Amino acid sequence: MGSDAPRLRGEQSEDFCGAKVSASLNIPRHIAVIMDGNGRWAKKRGLPRTAGHTAGADSFRRAARYCRKLGVEYLTVYAFSTENWKRPEDEVAGIMGLLERYLRQALRDMEKEKIRIRIFGDLAPFSDKLRTMCQECVERSKVYSGANVNICLNYGGRDEIVRAAQKWAADGCPALTEERFGSYMWGGDIPDPDLLIRPGGEKRISNFLLWECAYAEMYFSDVLWPDFDEKQFDKAIEAYQHRERRFGDVGSGLT
């Protein structure tokens, strides 16, 4: 960072995994991440795609710890989409196996760090084992409130909106406002993302948080997800801190 660049953080105090961490000004309250690029990461190394997903799972655990250190209240990650079932059967099976193994370990870590876990998405198509594991960890972590990680599994933004409409209808169609409709989303009780990060080079949303990201700042990076480390998070947050969020109003310099 150049000397005249705005400080990423207020007082830099603790060194964590090679990146500076501290109490901060203007850290996004909620960061959403499309964890993309695992397959290409593996291909570059002549490894099977599953090895990329394994590295991606490690990157997720590191990201959760780092965001907690930074004071990000909510981290929402896209782990498996409603469209990812289209992938070859062996890749889907590999991802499911990894989810069972790595999620268990990640969840243990998160319990140690007192992180509250929520799962967004319909777990019905998953194995009994995976579903039970997800439900248990959601229940067990309900007692924590400081840092929150939301894992999107079998998640699709359009699917979420259709389900919200179904829940609203099942509620007897109460008078509808944006706020009430939003409360039927998976994360209906949490604030919308401030920053959406997509590593992996693609510049699209791929059906992620269509409702919630109405005013999220977008950050796209060519770095593949398994390589998206603490320094990359710092860069994304620094870019966010340079943005002026107007929410449809005039800019602060124009009033």
**Residues that bind ligand IPE in the complex, under the rule CB under 6 A:** 34-40, 56, 78-81, 84, 95, 200, 202, 204, 206
CB 44 → Mg ion: shortest distance, Å? 14
Active site residue 36: yes
Active site residue 84: yes
**Count of helices and strands (H, E) across the chain:** 7, 8
Give the DSSP per-residue string, 193-240.
PSEEEE-SS--S-TTSSTTTTTTPEEEE-SS-GGG--HHHHHHHHHHH
CB 232 → ligand IPE: shortest distance, Å? 16
Part of the chain binding Mg ion (CB under 5 A), chosen from 30-38, 70-78, 122-130, 231-239: 30-38
Catalytic residue among 15, 26, 36, 194: 36
* One of 19, 34, 36, 225 touching Mg ion (CB under 5 A): 36
Chain-centre distance for alpha carbon 200: 14
- Continuous segment of H or E residues that includes residue 111: helix 89-112
If phi over 0 gives left and psi between -120 and 50 gives alpha, with beta otherwise, what is residue 102?
Answer: alpha
34 binds, among ligand IPE, Mg ion, none (CB under 5 to 8 A by kind): ligand IPE
CB 36 → Mg ion: shortest distance, Å? 4
36 vs 194, beta carbon nearer Mg ion? 36
Q: Which residues are marked as active site?
A: 36, 84
